Structure 1
Amino acid sequence: MLRRCNDGEGADHVILIDVELSESFSNVIFIDVPESTPKKFRGDIIFIDDDDDESNDNCITTQRERIKETSEYKKALEEELASRQKALAIQAEEAKKLKLMLRRKKAESMRLLEIEKRQMQRVEEMRETQKKDVENTNLKEQIRFEVWKELSKLEMTCHDIASVLCGLGITVGDGTSHEVRVAYKKALLKFHPDRSSRSDIRQQVEAEETFKLISRMKDKYLPTL
């Protein structure tokens, strides 16, 4: 931008202002205007009529290049570069924090989903266990009734504990009291519920009911044992 001014001694000058740097008049350059150079005035702005427009352009360009070599210009560029670098650093840090936050949210969501999945699995396992327990209980009762019928027949046909033990497959020997006691102890070990198979429900029920029968027969026929 060119503006008319006077140096106070009667000489006309033109002020070259680099508007790209500042809107103020702090950075200006005075260019002498020859008296032979035709000038047109419009307010404070001087339009220089010069046949050699390229020369004027070169002059302005030269002045701008000089301005760019000044310490103020370089300092302004450095400050602007530092400001941009600082802004980029802040943006990078914010992006990093955002990425970390999103990663943590995703990890937390995955953890909650995994917890919910395990809870659902445990609930399903509990339901299956309860269902199986009910089925096993019903099956046990059915088997218990069958075993009880068979053992009741044996108990009704036997008149002493020796015959009961023989009916259960336990060898009594010569039938003496000592042999009966030995056979009784063998029967307790053989039909003890804790020695039965945990996977075979029928064997469990048979052991429980047979052990009860042996105990009743002992109380009935061998009360002093």
Structure 2
Amino acid sequence: MLRRCSDGDHVILIDVELSESFSNVIFIDVPESTPKKFRGDIIFIDDESNDNCITTQRERIKETSEYKKALEEELASRQKALAIQAEEAKKLKLMLRRKKAESTRLLEIEKRQMQRVEEMRETQKKDVENTNLKEQIRFEVWKELSKLEMTCHDMASVLCGLGITVGVGTSHEVRVAYKKALLKFHPDRTSRSDIRQQVEAEETFKLISRMKDKYLPTLRQ
């Protein structure tokens, strides 16, 4: 409860407890319209009237330039803080997007590397299988060509055994047939996808080369 005391020049409002011990002293002008109750030289002010007085003082403070300036500064500070938060959120979003893109890129690289490793393994496996198959076919072809080489006594018989037409077997005809055989069984002219044909060409070409060194020098020009 507030007690009002007047010395003729000033009005003093004293906030006291029921025990009448002083806890706060407020110097303020009290409007004449303020409801009052008299007890000696002390005026008791109703709580409701006191609330109205405080509200009026607050409204006056709000109208001051200092209050408006402080309010504007507070608003500007909050807007600045919001702008900073928005910028930080934007940077964080961009950073997360970059991290996601980098993670995706690394996963793609790892995936391609795994694919290449798997392809290399498959290629190596296929090469081993082809090598084994080539050696098996080479042995079979070598056996057949060895029989032909053992039964032939000149270049013409070798070429005939390989399916090359020699004619009557003159020196010129044998040389022409030999050149035809070189072209027919040259390894570079065979299919790379047909392993048997490739191996047969390689071994036949070797046989023709050996027979050339053995029989062609003996042919008369």
State the TM bucket, normalised to the shorter chain.
0.7 to 0.9
Alignment CA distance shift 1:17-1:72 (3 Å): farther
Contact 1:3 1:45 (C-alpha < 8 Å) held by counterparts: yes
Alignment CA distance shift 1:146-1:209 (3 Å): same
Alignment CA distance shift 1:40-1:133 (3 Å): farther
Q: CA deviation at 1:33?
A: 3.6
Where 2:34 maps in the other structure, the secondary structure is: coil
Q: CA deviation at 1:113?
A: 1.1
Q: CA deviation at 1:15?
A: 8.2
CA distance in 2, matches of 1:119, 1:23: 90
Alignment CA distance shift 1:19-1:176 (3 Å): farther
CA distance in 2, matches of 1:213, 1:100: 72
Q: CA deviation at 1:59?
A: 3.8
Alignment CA distance shift 1:106-1:20 (3 Å): farther
CA distance in 2, matches of 1:3, 1:64: 21
Q: CA deviation at 1:63?
A: 2.7
Contact 1:2 1:15 (C-alpha < 8 Å) held by counterparts: no
Alignment CA distance shift 1:7-1:45 (3 Å): closer
Contact 1:14 1:46 (C-alpha < 8 Å) held by counterparts: no
1:160 corresponds to 2:154: yes
Q: After the TM superposition, which of the residue ranges 132-141 and 26-35 deviates more from structure 2?
A: 26-35
Contact 1:3 1:44 (C-alpha < 8 Å) held by counterparts: no
Contact 1:3 1:16 (C-alpha < 8 Å) held by counterparts: yes
CA distance in 2, matches of 1:83, 1:20: 41
CA distance in 1, matches of 2:2, 2:149: 132
Any unmatched runs of 5+ in structure 2? none
Contact 1:193 1:207 (C-alpha < 8 Å) held by counterparts: yes
Contact 2:13 2:28 (C-alpha < 8 Å) held by counterparts: yes
Alignment CA distance shift 1:32-1:71 (3 Å): same
Alignment CA distance shift 1:126-1:144 (3 Å): same
CA distance in 2, matches of 1:82, 1:42: 51
CA distance in 2, matches of 1:220, 1:99: 83
Q: CA deviation at 1:43?
A: 19
Q: CA deviation at 1:148?
A: 0.5
Q: CA deviation at 1:28?
A: 14
**Deviations 1:91-114 (Å, cap 9, x if unpaired)?**
111111111111111111111111
Q: After the TM superposition, which of the residue ranges 56-65 and 29-38 deviates more from structure 2?
A: 29-38
Q: After the TM superposition, which of the residue ranges 18-27 and 87-96 deviates more from structure 2?
A: 18-27
CA root-mean-square deviation = 6.0
Number of equivalent positions: 219
Percent identical: 97
TM-score, normalised relative to structure 2? 0.80
Q: After the TM superposition, which of the residue ranges 176-185 and 37-46 deviates more from structure 2?
A: 37-46
Q: CA deviation at 1:182?
A: 0.5
Alignment CA distance shift 1:37-1:147 (3 Å): closer
Any unmatched runs of 5+ in structure 1? none
Q: CA deviation at 1:133?
A: 0.6
Where 1:41 maps in the other structure, the secondary structure is: strand
TM-score, normalised relative to structure 1? 0.79
